[in-house]
Chain A
């Protein structure tokens, strides 16, 4: 396959970026999208040019590190992560545009790499159950209905990549936050801190500058782990019932 790539290049957080165009003549359709960039990068190094900086790690769709905005969609045309996207999803001769996540709370660090530490700070605000190591009851002393456990698991599969934010016209992080809030709201272990958790996480989300949710479902359509917006509905319920009785935040 022949591919033309338009890639966002930006030296650092402070500098101005622009698109550079590259042509690749021998792309195999079995390559993953990231392997295609590897090949391009290797050819750039051979020409003494700086390779394209991009975040990636596990390359099996689970670490959530890769964060490419491909042809106007987070992770590209298939609902998966960019590392699990293969070149057979593109046409011979196609021009592909690659950008970093575009959202104010995710500033660009270099080329296609953005700073997603806002997500960590939201989790630090309350995304946990406050138990110390040791002294916990036997695991089977906390029976959990299978349905609740399965639903909690479905929410917990969020990989924290940020595609939901990148997909949203408001750069809302509601899908991400709702996944964690739902996981714990559905489990008996999460009940004791149920109210404070949702209040604190939402407060931190707002402080980071993420936008509001207007239910366009773009996040659900792009989430590589198929996190459902029913979680956002649950987050709203959790949040409202928490704030009306709140003595906390």
Chain B
């Protein structure tokens, strides 16, 4: 298979402009003849659905939520990057491009990342025009902050609820098109398969989550904007409903899955409190601007936050500040997470042993409680509510948790997968973040894809195909519906002894232990066997109660966990294949003498795109070589 990224020739800064000109257009009068399906209504999906409907396409949008506004983009806290240089501090499109390529540890495409930086400025304009209430200065202009290790202030934010405000903006644009009749909205509908006719994506199969009815929907193109797969770890900062099913179904129909092992572990989350834990809560990374991360120099098992004040300065190890004097507590997420893990592995963790302190004592002394409260009040309240501890009086306890997945469906520069007519946008694709995503870049990418990339690129495909509608009577749709029904009936008929959550938790633990923050060949091989065993046990011993023709949340979960198990194995395969360390993927066998991640650029400067070949068969690896014409690959250093 030839993986053509379709990155245009020419100078970096002119690629997107040139490409836009070369893309074929659909005549305005003809746009209404084309139907587009958009699955998912987060930042990428809602912005794409609204923008395509505004252009005149007929859009059918789907979400498993009760309303498009609930998508997990809503929970993003920190902000959104844009190369506006409003702060006069030396930012530029090239600098945002450079930071993002470097932050991704040189495992993303130059062309994609530069385009992302280019359209970042339009996103802010768009959101402000929609009435998104970004933070402002007294003079009425927009406020910015520095975020996630950036040396310039380019992050736009709406207190700690930026994702919410951006999503509500996109949701309002979507609502306008629903009211206009240009978007047909399907709430509480879960996509369970994609259907191809004559090799082109021509529709999807969904389950109505209230009635259980299996339905077929056709269109001329299908956009999967279905988010990431962090819930493969069971515990993550993702919402409970986040799942890989739509992307995985597409993968099994032939779409390549790229870099599945690239997962981001976020350093500042509230630690696990017990076996009942259902998810992990992120505390915004902005806390590291003022909080100092430390553990005791010698192990003190079970040390509580309240007792921290009794530890004298001389017995504290501010390990990020010591190891990385120039970036200190603001090192990128992967570096901060790994260091927290390593001090805990040494036995110096606090609380349960899997936690480090994030201490605001010095910041409160320096700036006063009022200033700290104004900056982080809502986060401190949230922390107190969840843990019962008061972070104004003692340090917070934090530990890394799975947060974001850089891997996803392989797409070309047009955001199209290798299946004609099947696109993937936002976190669901693999395209822009390489091996590690920088803070405030996820919102940027979701909206870039939806507002400013797909409206241009989709026309190039649609203009080349007939606008005749495909009928759901076609055998391809009938067969896909039968297959979906067969799988549901199978899940319901097993009637075993273990619950879906039990399987999910076991899978999550295996993934976390062996394919989490650091990975070894031995561990990964062990994980592969464990996952295979778990999967075969699942299909013989899971108990899914209730029926198919009704609202059945156990059945929904079962289908998703079944897919997570298959994905988990592919993640392990991908991690095994990549014997280098890069970004969020740390192979213990590949590190520098002082324990930093060591890339192997000669061997691994490629995107690993995996092709499904059939049940219980090894997937085929395709490599898309990454070409760097503008940046020089260097070992990342934050010392």
Contacts and interface: CB of A to CB of B under 8 A. Distances in A.
A35 B276 contact: yes
Interface in A127-169: 127-134, 136-140, 142-146, 149-150, 152-153, 156-157, 159-160
Interface stretch (B107-115, B121-129, B244-252): B121-129
Given A42-B499, A88-B388, A109 B175 contact: no
Interface in A45-81: 45-46, 48-51, 53, 55-65, 78, 80
Main secondary structure of the interface of A (DSSP, over half): loop
**Contact count band on A:** 35 or more
27 contacts: A34-B278, A35-B276, A35-B277, A39-B276, A42-B502, A45-B554, A48-B543, A50-B545, A51-B545, A59-B279, A62-B164, A63-B70, A64-B69, A84-B385, A120-B67, A124-B178, A128-B173, A129-B172, A134-B126, A137-B125, A137-B129, A139-B134, A142-B128, A146-B137, A146-B138, A149-B133, A150-B136
Nearest to A138: B125
B551 A153 contact: no
Contacts of B130: 128-129, 131, 189
Interface in B203-248: 210, 239-241
B66 interface: yes
A132 B137 CA distance: 27
A61 B545 CA distance: 29
Interface centre among B165, B501, B545 (most CB of A within 10 A): B545
A59 B276 contact: no
A86 B278 CA distance: 13
Contacts of A128: 130, 172-173, 175-176
Contacts of B543: 45-46, 48
A198 interface: no
A187 interface: yes
Given A30-B274, A51-B553, 4 more contacts: A117-B66, A137-B129, A142-B128, A150-B136
Interface in A11-47: 11-12, 28, 30-32, 34-36, 38-39, 42, 45-46
B168 A156 contact: yes
A84 B164 contact: no
Contacts of A120: 67-69, 175, 185, 187
A157 B164 contact: yes
Interface residues of B, number: 80
Given A110-B551, A128-B173, A140-B141, A57 B72 contact: yes
A172 interface: no
A132 B125 CA distance: 12
Given A88-B388, A145-B140, A116 B126 contact: no
A30 B389 CA distance: 11
Given A35-B278, A84-B386, A133 B553 contact: no
A176 interface: no
Given A34-B278, A144-B140, A129 B129 contact: yes
A48 B386 contact: no
Interface in B466-523: 499-502
Contact of A160 (B67, B281, B382, B501): B67
A184 interface: yes
A65 B277 contact: no
Interface in B543-559: 543, 545-546, 550-551, 553-554
Contact of A125 (B124, B125, B179, B241): B179
A21 to B, nearest CB: 20
Contacts of A152: 131, 133
B25 interface: no
B153 interface: no
A149 B279 contact: no
A119 interface: yes
B66 A115 contact: yes
Contact of A62 (B74, B276, B452): B74
A121 to B, nearest CB: 9
A178 interface: no
A42 B501 contact: yes
